[in-house]
Structure 1
Amino acid sequence: MKKRDIIVAICTAAIMCVPMAIIAHQQQVKANMPSTAFNWDSVKVVATKVGEKRQFFDAPTSTLDNLECHVTTLNPGELAHAPHQHPEEELTIVKEGTLEVLVNGELKIVGPGSVVFQSANTLHSIKNVGTTKAVYHAIKWKSNKTMK
């Protein structure tokens, strides 16, 4: 093999890496979530140290950069996590039990049917203050207005 042939082979390989890298990147980008019905019993239950979690979805949609929904079951007396904040807004819908939620610096008690909205970048937390398991849906979204 001549030096020229080796150079041509190397250049060809280098040029082919560009489209292959583009294709690999496109495959890593999540597709928009289509309209879907999620059956409660078909969503995998994952045990956590404070209860359990069902992850329904976590994907972009046609109007949002990302939409995420999970259901947490908290055992009595457990805190889902230490007070924290994040750039996306979050909606919590209580299905069962009694929760203490940190909202705008105040602790509030909420029960079944209650809805809690947490604005972006506000400190919040959730604790089960009841004597039975508490179950809640958490929904978060990111849009082009979500600060990164």
Structure 2
Amino acid sequence: MGAKRQFCDSPTETLQNLEIHATTLRPSEFAHPAHQHPEEELMIVREGTVIALVNGELKRVGPGSAIFQAPNRLHSIQNVGQTPVVYHVIKWRSTATGPAAVANP
């Protein structure tokens, strides 16, 4: 992976966990293989063009796009452009989420 910058990954007053990070992907690079987890996740594309697996469909999106990943659904993201991609991830776990995933890429 190009780079990952972690901003926070800890409990808050109302959430069991809040994770916020920014990822940079090189051209053609995947962030990780398709996976799923019990937490909901929001990705915001800042730079570049990606193809994201969302709810069983591939979506091509660019800067300013928001991608919502529902819990327990396979998802992935790939840089499909010629320049680096930068996107931000916000993922949260609450009492309604259930237990944390054992392995979380």
TM-score by length of 2: 0.93
Quote the Cα distance in structure 1 between the aligned partners of 2:55 and 2:38. Answer: 15
More helix by proportion, 1 or 2?
1
Q: Tell whether the 8 Å contact from 2:55 to 2:70 is kept in structure 1 after alignment.
A: no
Quote the Cα distance in structure 1 between the aligned partners of 2:46 and 2:84. Answer: 10
C-alpha distance after superposition, 1:2-38 (max 9, x if no partner): xxxxxxxxxxxxxxxxxxxxxxxxxxxxxxxxxxxxx
Task: Name 1:80's counterpart in structure 2.
Answer: 31
Q: Percent identity?
A: 66
Letter in 2 for 1:95: R
Aligned pairs for 1:33-44 within 5 A:
none
Aligned length: 99
* Larger Rg belongs to: 1
Deviation (angstroms), 1:147: 1.8
Quote the Cα distance in structure 2 between the aligned partners of 1:99 and 1:145. Answer: 30
1:144 to 84, 95, 102: 95
1:71 to 19, 22, 26: 22
**Higher RCO (CA 8 Å, separation ≥ 6 residues):** 2
C-alpha distance after superposition, 1:37-91 (max 9, x if no partner): xxxxxxxxxxxxx200100000111110100001000000000000000010000
1:128 to 79, 93, 96: 79
Unaligned runs of 5+ in 2: 100-105
Quote the Cα distance in structure 1 between the aligned partners of 2:17 and 2:39. Answer: 10
TM-score by length of 1: 0.66
Quote the Cα distance in structure 2 between the aligned partners of 1:130 and 1:147. Answer: 36
More strand by proportion, 1 or 2?
2
Quote the Cα distance in structure 1 between the aligned partners of 2:4 and 2:40. Answer: 20
Moved over 4 A (4+): none
